[in-house]
Structure 1
Amino acid sequence: MATRSSDLCHSASSYERHVYQAAIQAWNATGHFKFVPGTTAHHQITLGTSNATSGQYYRLAGITFSTGYTNGYYTKAQVYLLTRNFVRYHYSYTDQVHVAEHELGHTIGLEHSRDRHSVMLADNRYNGISAADSAAVHLRYRLPVGRL
């Protein structure tokens, strides 16, 4: 099982922190990947919120910016929940958790899926982590760290 440290941005409200924590618990429950808390000085993922909803972000509910290697393994990522669109498009708490699960899926190397039941469906707000999503993570991280 692979792990990745995360730091919850101080700009997030307690409600938004709860949304992220629920998404992290869902990924950790798969048993194939584990997010662990990091500190401001030492983490790989920063979790935050933004009200940016103009330009290319005008309909998005979440976005992930990543840096890493060409093989899809990331060294750093910034995840944002776009809270203004949550209100504008009437996202429920569960919808918001699914968006956070989707964005966290990107941080562990998952791309968009065409599977209508996948959390990684591009326009997802209704699907949680599916068995297929969990299997994809298991395949991606099936070897111990450093073993090829």
Structure 2
Amino acid sequence: MPSGRLPVVNPWRFETNQATVQIKVGTYYSQVWTRAINAWNSKKVFTFKIVKGPAQITILPAQSNEASLIKQNFVGVAYVNHDNTKRITSVQLHLVNSLLKSNGYTTSQRVNVAEHELGHAMGLAHNPSKQSVMYKTTRYVSIQPIDVKNAKDLYSIPASQYFINLPATTSTTANKDVIANGAGDRLFKSPFETRSVQALVDPSTIY
């Protein structure tokens, strides 16, 4: 990894710096997500490829737990599933339209939130700097050079050095314990598969 400041990343990533994306939302949010995807792709550190069928990353419409997300003031959420070798196995992304609308988010601000969730999808963590798209309450900031550097650093490590050399095992039936991990994050842990639920909180609820 390049020397200097450590990247703000999670301990998991995709095998390579690319992933397929299926967009399963309506026209307006399809445009929002496409703009966010194009913004990341233009940085040339990670490639999101939009496909029509099943994909590694799925962008979802309204969720069954929508009321819970609204109660917690989550305007965006990333469900990142990863196995015991540190490989991301699948990701589900969602923007909470009712909160974005009620809090007056412009289209550009919604794109910023989508960029944030895509950052989680590739393996980036919350950045303590407010001048980062990965700040925990991003609204006004888009992808910054520090975000590009963190993604580049994460994927500059060869797969042979990054991943744990274990048989990849996953389980969807094991009991999961909920562990708080800072504002807006919840980690769901099982012996073989971990699901990280990383959510973006609307800043108006904090300041």
TM-score, normalized by the shorter chain, greater than 0.5: yes
Alignment of 1:29 with 2:48, yes or no, is no
Q: TM-score, normalised by structure 1?
A: 0.89
> AA paired with 1:26?
A
The offset of 1:74, in angstroms, is 1.2
Alignment of 1:67 with 2:81, yes or no, is yes
The offset of 1:135, in angstroms, is 0.2
Measure, in 2, the Cα distance between the counterparts of 1:22 and 1:85.
Answer: 20
Q: 2:127 aligns with which of 101, 110, 113?
A: 113
Deviates further, 83-92 or 32-41: 32-41
- What is the aligned partner in structure 1 of residue 204 from structure 2? none
Map 1:11-90 → 2, pairs under 5 A: 12-41=25-54, 43-50=55-62, 53-58=66-71, 59-70=73-84, 72-90=86-104
**CA displacement 1:59-88 (0-9 Å, x = unmatched):** 111101111135654110000010011111
The offset of 1:13, in angstroms, is 1.6
Secondary structure of residue in 2 paired with 1:115: coil
Measure, in 1, the Cα distance between the counterparts of 2:66 and 2:103.
Answer: 12
**CA displacement 1:107-140 (0-9 Å, x = unmatched):** 0000101011100011111110000000000000
Percent identity of paired positions between Structure 1 and Structure 2: 26
Secondary structure of residue in 2 paired with 1:117: coil
Measure, in 1, the Cα distance between the counterparts of 2:100 and 2:85.
Answer: 32
- What is the aligned partner in structure 1 of residue 151 from structure 2? 137
Are the counterparts in 1 of residues 69 and 96 from structure 2 also a CA contact under 8 Å? no
Larger radius of gyration: 2
Measure, in 1, the Cα distance between the counterparts of 2:70 and 2:100.
Answer: 13
> AA paired with 1:48?
L
Measure, in 1, the Cα distance between the counterparts of 2:45 and 2:88.
Answer: 17
Q: 1:8 aligns with which of 23, 29, 44?
A: 23
> AA paired with 1:78?
Q
Measure, in 2, the Cα distance between the counterparts of 1:29 and 1:67.
Answer: 26
- What is the aligned partner in structure 1 of residue 189 from structure 2? none
Measure, in 1, the Cα distance between the counterparts of 2:86 and 2:127.
Answer: 16
Secondary structure of residue in 1 paired with 2:156: coil
Measure, in 1, the Cα distance between the counterparts of 2:89 and 2:127.
Answer: 23
Q: 2:106 aligns with which of 71, 83, 92?
A: 92
Q: TM-score, normalised by structure 2?
A: 0.65
